[in-house]
Amino acid sequence: MIPLARLAGTIYRIHWLVLALIGLGVYLGQGRLLLLLMAALFLHEMAHVIAARALGIKMTAVELTPFGGQAYIEDFTGLEPDKEFFMSLAGPLASLSLAAFFYSVPTGMDTETSLWLVRCNLFLGLFNLLPALPMDGGRVLRSWLSPLMGFKRATRLAAFMGMACALAIIGHGFYYAQETVLMAQEIMAGLILFWFAVRESRFLAYSFMRYLIHKKSELNRLGLLESRQLVSSWNTPLSSLLKDTRPKHYLIVVVLDDSHHVDGVYTEAEIIECFMERGPAATLRECRF
């Protein structure tokens, strides 16, 4: 990933595949149109960032990829399904709105450029609504499924849908094998999509490990970490407990029974793992099983 800029605390990076596609487009004489595509991608991702900020989600980085972008959240509060649902829809809605704007409002551009912008934004909006990761529609699907089956299984299912879409695109490319250029483009797009879908299926596990490794490195560097100790009942939602996580503090939750006796102690790592396995509606009681 190559850093582009840092705006309002969010780092913007571009995947090397995007730069490779731009280089190929310039070589084929399509550099101007591809730059317009990059502008459309950037506006698509800015819509996600604006929606995230409005919802109180802290985004540390946004990576531009050939299929849109990957947002990296600061903590696990950004995994709340309602927030993820609206944040994920913001990008496709922005792209479809831009397509409608360039179609209906005179901009003074030449016809070819206006039609390209309409098609480009229409494609970005509709393609990203597919219910498959890494597309935004896959995040919408995950936000619907995660309360029922937990983030891990919902992510795996949405990523599997992405892999299935990728295989369908590859198969379609081979079907039109007589058109060499079209076949190569579709097969390449399918392979890239499959790669990103596999990466998405592992993202939560990596995010979880990165979060805890950061705390471990802080502990090793400082020799100690301040703890935040909470007293809870078994019926407290995990999402409420995780709102008290802090980058330089370690969360310890002491569970009391009805007689106010200590009935259990949970570390931050155990609570996050249970949160991802059981979903945001889970209570502390479900971590016992």
Exposed / middle / buried, residue 40 (Cβ in 10 Å: 0-12, 13-18, 19+):
buried
pLDDT of residue 74: 61
Q: Which is higher by pLDDT, 254 or 190? A: 254
pLDDT of residue 289: 67
Radius of gyration of the chain (CA): 22
- How far apart, in whole angstroms, are the C-alpha atoms of residue 28 and residue 32? 11
| Banded pLDDT at 8 (limits 50, 70, 90) | low
Give the residue extent of every domain in the chain.
Answer: 2-214, 225-288
Average pLDDT over residues 62-87: 71
- How far apart, in whole angstroms, are the C-alpha atoms of residue 162 and residue 124? 16
Q: Which amino acid is at 268?
A: E
pLDDT of residue 76: 54
Of the listed 45, 84, 186, 200, which one is catalytic? Answer: 45
What is the H or E stretch that residue 70 is in? Answer: strand 68-73
Query: Does residue 45 have an active-site annotation?
Result: yes
pLDDT of residue 234: 92
Exposed / middle / buried, residue 94 (Cβ in 10 Å: 0-12, 13-18, 19+):
buried
Q: Which is higher by pLDDT, 10 or 237? A: 237
Looking at the structure, give the CATH architecture of the domain made up of residues 225-288: Roll (3.10)
pLDDT digits (tens, 9 = 90+) for 159-218: 999 999 999 988 888 876 666 656 776 787 788 888 888 877 776 665 555 566 666 776
pLDDT of residue 121: 93
Q: What number of helices (H) and strands (E) belong to the chain?
A: 8, 7
Check: CB of residue 121 under 8 Å from CB of residue 166.
no
Check: CB of residue 84 under 8 Å from CB of residue 143.
yes
pLDDT digits (tens, 9 = 90+) for 95-106: 999 999 988 887
